[in-house]
């Protein structure tokens, strides 16, 4: 599926009221829409449910597509839907609140569902190669006091690694703690825009 003017918004915070990561994810998406009014939105909220991989899922995934049973196709149907969303998107905005120094279990489960050999990555003679190319990812980390990039931050490096593994190497980490949500909407958008541009210029 060709990615064109599509923003995939992925939220993983268990909080809704007052969630910093959700607010900043929304602001990043708004900034992307302000830059290109032709953008469309795919909204994937992981709190509505994301399956953990199972023995049946692993068996189906490693069965050649033309040899899968109807039951195996059904097992992989949700994963296929998530993978299609990733391929459809030009921009991917991920909300990653830090729970106990790392990402929420539901976000890890999402990555497990979309990291698929021969689909989103492949093994070559020189090692694995990501197949999800030409995407830009913005990862919003709300750490609740843990400094992003410090020795206690086990989220940001993992997120860049797993995104790079499937081929998404253009990744901007946004520290939500640096966004002042008490200011006017125009000021917030300016902060988001400045953050995006500063990382791009680095």
Q: By C-alpha distance, which of 82, 28, 62 is closest to 193?
A: 28
User: Residue 92: helix, strand or coil by DSSP?
Assistant: strand
Confidence of residue 187 (pLDDT cuts 50, 70, 90): low
For the stretch 48-66, pLDDT in tens is 999 999 999 999 999 999 9
79 within a domain of the structure (yes/no): yes
Residue 120 has which token pair?
A: 């989103």
Residue 11 host element (H or E): strand 6-11
Tell me if 98 is assigned to some domain.
yes
pLDDT digits (tens, 9 = 90+) for 106-131: 999 999 999 999 999 999 999 999 99
- Length of the chain (residues): 202
Q: Strands 6-11 and 121-124: what pairing? A: unpaired
Based on its alpha-carbon atoms, the radius of gyration of the chain, rounded to whole angstroms, reads 17
Query: By C-alpha distance, which of 158, 13, 15, 164 is closest to 92?
Result: 164
Tell me what pLDDT residue 196 has. Answer: 66
CATH of the domain at 169: 3.40.50.360
> SS3 of 76, please?
coil
Torsion angle of C-alpha atoms 148, 17, 94, 4, degrees rounded to 10: -150
Domain count, the chain: 1
pLDDT at residue 1, as a whole number:
45
Q: Does a structural domain hold residue 1?
A: no
* 39 is a domain residue: yes
pLDDT tens column, 137-164: 999 999 887 778 788 889 999 999 999 9
> Predicted confidence band at 4 (pLDDT cuts at 50, 70, 90)?
low
Please tell me whether residue 201 adopts helix, strand or coil conformation: helix
Domain that holds residue 61: 6-201
Residue 68 vs residue 101, higher pLDDT? 68
How far lies 3's CA from each of 37, 65, 81, 172, in Å?
16, 23, 15, 19
pLDDT surpassing 70 at residue 202: no
In whole angstroms, what is the distance from residue 74 CA to residue 55 CA? 14
């Amino acid at each position: 599926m060709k990615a064109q003017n599509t923003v995939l918004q992925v939220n993983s915070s268990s909080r809704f009221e007052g969630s910093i990561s959700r607010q900043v994810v929304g602001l990043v998406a708004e900034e992307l829409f302000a830059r290109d009014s032709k953008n469309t939105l795919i909204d994937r909220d992981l709190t509505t449910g994301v399956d953990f991989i199972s023995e049946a899922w692993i068996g189906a995934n490693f069965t050649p597509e033309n040899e899968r049973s109807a039951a195996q196709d059904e097992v992989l149907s949700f994963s296929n839907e998530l993978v299609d969303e990733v391929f459809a998107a030009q921009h991917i905005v991920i909300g990653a609140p830090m729970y106990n120094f790392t990402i929420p279990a539901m976000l890890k489960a999402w990555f497990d569902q979309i990291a698929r050999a021969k689909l989103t990555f492949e093994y070559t003679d020189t090692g694995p190669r990501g197949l999800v190319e030409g995407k830009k990812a913005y990862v919003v980390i709300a750490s609740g006091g843990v400094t992003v990039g410090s020795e206690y931050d086990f989220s940001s490096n993992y997120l860049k690694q797993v995104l790079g593994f499937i081929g998404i190497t253009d990744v901007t980490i946004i520290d939500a703690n640096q966004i002042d949500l008490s200011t006017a909407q125009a000021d917030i958008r300016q902060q988001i825009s400045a953050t995006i541009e500063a990382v791009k210029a680095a």
